[in-house]
Structure 1
Amino acid sequence: MAEKDFTCWENPSCILFKDVRSALKLDELGVEIATIALPAAMALTADPIASLIDTAFIGQIGPVELAAVGVSIALFNQISRIAIFPLVSVTTSFVAEEDSMKGASLAIEEDDVSSKDSEDKMLIPQKGLDEKMHRLDSAKSFDIGEVEQGKKQIASAPSALIIGGILGLLQAVFLIITARPLLSFMGVKYGSEMSKPAEQYLKLRSLGAPAVLLSLALQGVFRGLKDTKTPLYATVSGDLANIILDPIFIFVLKMGVRGAATAHVISQYLIALILFWRLQRQVELLSPSLEYLQLGRFMKNGFQLLIRVIAVTFCVTLAASMAARLGSTEMAAFQVCLQVWLASSLLADGLAVAGQAILASAFARKNYSRAAATASRVLQLSLALGFCLAVMLGFGLHFGARIFTKDADVIRLIGVGIPFVAATQPINSLAFVFDGVNFGASDFAYSAYSMVIVAIFSIIALLVLSSTCGFIGIWIALTVYMSLRALAGFWRIGTATGPWEFLRS
């Protein structure tokens, strides 16, 4: 039965200020959020940090190679997000819902067995009781999806892996075949000084697409199980391998940008293998039948998020394209600022993952007091994190720009982008966490169509401001874009509509 004993939310728009004094409190909810969010944040930032290290190594080759790889990384990441984001988000919610409901079923079965135990001891011999308990245990294992080996049967897990593997292969083929026209669209014309290194890097890195999609699908399953430590260990192991192999391939073997791409591909396959090995010990990954899989459910909700991701991807890719059209110096500076911007902002995604997993479980059990408290807590924590990041980046990036390049013109433009990178951190944090909150409520349709509206206004801003204000204009437009994303996320909860109607009760 649905819980209705939560504190009355007379004004749902005040969710950011509800019990704000408890935002940093390490109560039961605070500990659960921290347990999920901290490893998730570290895992999420590991890959961008590895990309930053790639950028730093490649920057030592020259500004042309730095700009070329910057375009390729931006293109690869944005194409990947088209498949990754819907897959991971849907997997996390579905696995959390299934695991939560099966946990509830187990608790009910245990209560039934306990009550029948006391009755049966008075009515039947011990031998008959043992046989009955055996039958109950067998039925319980079947009903809640446990197999003899002790592995969980969660239909969303094999479904996610099948879809992830297929999408990864399709992405690899697509990027290898269309590398040249895609780079041309990004402003890297065939025959230009950036063309050859950009194409080399993109084609080689595309070979790792199947591993990237599969490992992210696996991470989605672990997140749904509220286990973010395993993905952290796997990601750190892979990225450490990348960091070790980078200088060997780039400088010792003199492979240049091809070496950076090769090191990254090896690291991605290592991550996928570690995650698969760990998951197959906990979850049954060999589906008994096609009917058992939830491919239709995945496709329906995944398509809605696909619309959202295409809108997001187009905005960020267009920004990179506008920077590339300004020249290699502007693109090199934009690449450094963008990588720092994304790496720091993704820290908030750890909170988004925690919010999504806990909220999906709460909504599955109709525990609305838990849902309301979780949404409020993770949003307040996101604001605190955003302000901390703003201060750290505002000071740190001024002194750290030379890590990425020695070119004076690139360093000067990085200085122009620093205020935008730092000042937008609170906005970015809120936007990411609002995404996780709405995904936890399985509000995929609203998330998709609201982002389309945001993208339309953001694209107009990018086209106008980049042509009139150049490099600065691109960053002003990106600030507008993230502000609109945060507003769209807030609107659903603030108006208490959709799955949040209970806030009016």
Structure 2
Amino acid sequence: MSRRRWVGGQDREILRLAVPAFVALVSEPLMLLADSAIIGHLGTPQLAALGVAGTVLQTIVGICVFLAYGTTSAVARRIGAGDHRGALAQGIDGLWLALLLGVVLALAGVVFAPQAINAFNPSPDVAEYAVTYLRISCFGIPSMLILLAATGVLRGLQDTKTPMVVAISANLLNIVLNLLLVYGLHLDIAGSALGTALVQTAAGVALVVVVVRGARRDGAKLTPDLPGILASAQMGVPLIVRTLTLRAAIILLTFVATSLGTTSVAAHQVAFTFWNFLALALDAIAIAAQALTGRALGAGDVAGTRSITRRMMWWGLWSGAVCGLALWGLRAVYVPWFTADPDVRRTLAAVLLVAAIWQPLNGVVFVLDGVLIGAGDGRYLAIAGVAALLLYIPLALSVLWLDGGIVALWWAFGGFMLVRLLTLVTRERGDAWLVTGATR
């Protein structure tokens, strides 16, 4: 086979996994956007309450993203090794772990909802609505985590289309159900929380049915397996640490931005909204990287792993460049949607230029992050994440101490991503992460 045909085959496989993954990833913020639009017409206190409660809920679920990432890696390895039954058994263990963890977190959320909301120091009317929304939403946490784990199983099986179809269907159902409960039955913000929880449950059940059907077909055991569940939990610990370092860096970015004045924080909010959206686009390639890397290493194909990794790095670089050009080139189109304040627009333009410059680097970072997750190299990712965060903290705080301004802060955040790039490229150049076989 010629090199051109070989590379073309790689590109088609990357696109086959990445495009549906992107659509599924985008569905989550779109669902939150729909909830915001529906609740926003109820009143300002309700909309503010959604912001506070949604932050708590997204933090809980975000920390548990290892249920998707870790499961993708483990299942893909076994698929590469030709062990379909073992792959589905690994996936079932992940589902049981998600259920157990979800029940614990849901109970904790219901009990400690007032304390979690009051930590944001909202006004009494906002706090009341937020506690109501959070407590009802907590009943959907087990379903949300099961949805993560089931999505991870299907990605490991090289199937990103099924999660995409379920995500699109869930978004449409969420709009209909929320309108019915909020305005038809006049349940106010509680109706939105209930509707979203029910939709998440339906989506989780739909994916579980697909996974269970495959497990039965391959003869995998469906009952809980304690050693397998504990192994899945242990595998997830480094990924939790890695996720926490990313969230800590973003929280610090927002904290410093908030301290720089109203104009700066307004510009930051808009810029970060678009940065986060572009991160989802680039993360879709990382998801493809997780699935393809795990499968190749499971098959013992080190050369193939190297080849697909280098190809995906180019995909990350060029995709990041396209995202950066779009972010900067289309600013005159989308900035007026968010603000008419000339000072905010000027500040935002400077921030967007910095954000656009860093996008190609971000693309490579996300891809290599996905490659190492797919390789099961979570421990290194955790260590590298902590190192990057420790270097970033004084860099970000120095902007505050020296009154460097919001543009300097975004350069500092780019420094955090640069440190991550250096640690990831260093690892990729070596051989320690190239562990082959059905299990790491």
Q: Which is higher, the Rg of structure 1 or of structure 2?
A: 1
The 3-state SS of whatever aligns with 1:346 is helix
Find the counterpart in structure 2 of residue 229 from structure 1.
161
Letter in 2 for 1:160: G
- Structure 1 residue 348: deviation in Å? 1.6
1:486 matched to 2:389 = no
Q: How does 1:40-439 map to 2 (within 5 A)?
A: 40-56=21-37, 69-84=50-65, 86-102=66-82, 145=85, 154-185=88-119, 188-191=120-123, 195-247=127-179, 257-284=189-216, 286-287=221-222, 290=225, 294-322=228-256, 334-396=268-330, 398-401=332-335, 417-439=351-373
- Structure 1 residue 368: deviation in Å? 1.4
For residues 490 and 412 of structure 1, do their structure 2 counterparts lie closer, same or farther at Cα, with a shift above 3 Å needed?
Answer: same
- Structure 1 residue 52: deviation in Å? 3.5
- Structure 1 residue 451: deviation in Å? 0.4
- Alpha-carbon distance between aligned partners in 2 of 1:247 and 1:411, rounded to the nearest angstrom: 35
- Structure 1 residue 79: deviation in Å? 2.6
The CA RMSD over aligned residues, in Å, is 3.6
Letter in 1 for 2:423: A
- Alpha-carbon distance between aligned partners in 2 of 1:325 and 1:250, rounded to the nearest angstrom: 36
TM-score, with length taken from structure 2 = 0.83
Find the counterpart in structure 1 of residue 387 from structure 2.
453
- Alpha-carbon distance between aligned partners in 1 of 2:101 and 2:407, rounded to the nearest angstrom: 36
The 3-state SS of whatever aligns with 2:213 is coil
Render the CA deviation track for 1:18-57: whole Å, top value 9, x for unaligned: x9xx6x9862222222211111121112212333444455
Letter in 2 for 1:240: L
For residues 204 and 276 of structure 1, do their structure 2 counterparts lie closer, same or farther at Cα, with a shift above 3 Å needed?
Answer: same
Letter in 1 for 2:232: F
For residues 459 and 168 of structure 1, do their structure 2 counterparts lie closer, same or farther at Cα, with a shift above 3 Å needed?
Answer: farther
- Structure 1 residue 403: deviation in Å? 5.1
- The answer as to whether partners of 2:392 and 2:412 remain within 8 angstroms in 1 is yes
- Alpha-carbon distance between aligned partners in 2 of 1:256 and 1:331, rounded to the nearest angstrom: 30
- Alpha-carbon distance between aligned partners in 2 of 1:276 and 1:297, rounded to the nearest angstrom: 20
Gaps of 5+ in 2: none
Aligned residues: 430
Find the counterpart in structure 2 of residue 39 from structure 1.
20
- The answer as to whether partners of 1:71 and 1:324 remain within 8 angstroms in 2 is no
TM-score, with length taken from structure 1 = 0.74
Moved more, 365-374 or 301-310: 301-310
- Alpha-carbon distance between aligned partners in 2 of 1:253 and 1:406, rounded to the nearest angstrom: 37
- Alpha-carbon distance between aligned partners in 1 of 2:435 and 2:418, rounded to the nearest angstrom: 24
- The higher relative CO (CA closer than 8 Å, separation ≥ 6) is in 1
For residues 471 and 69 of structure 1, do their structure 2 counterparts lie closer, same or farther at Cα, with a shift above 3 Å needed?
Answer: farther
Gaps of 5+ in 1: 1-18, 104-143, 146-151
- Alpha-carbon distance between aligned partners in 2 of 1:444 and 1:326, rounded to the nearest angstrom: 35
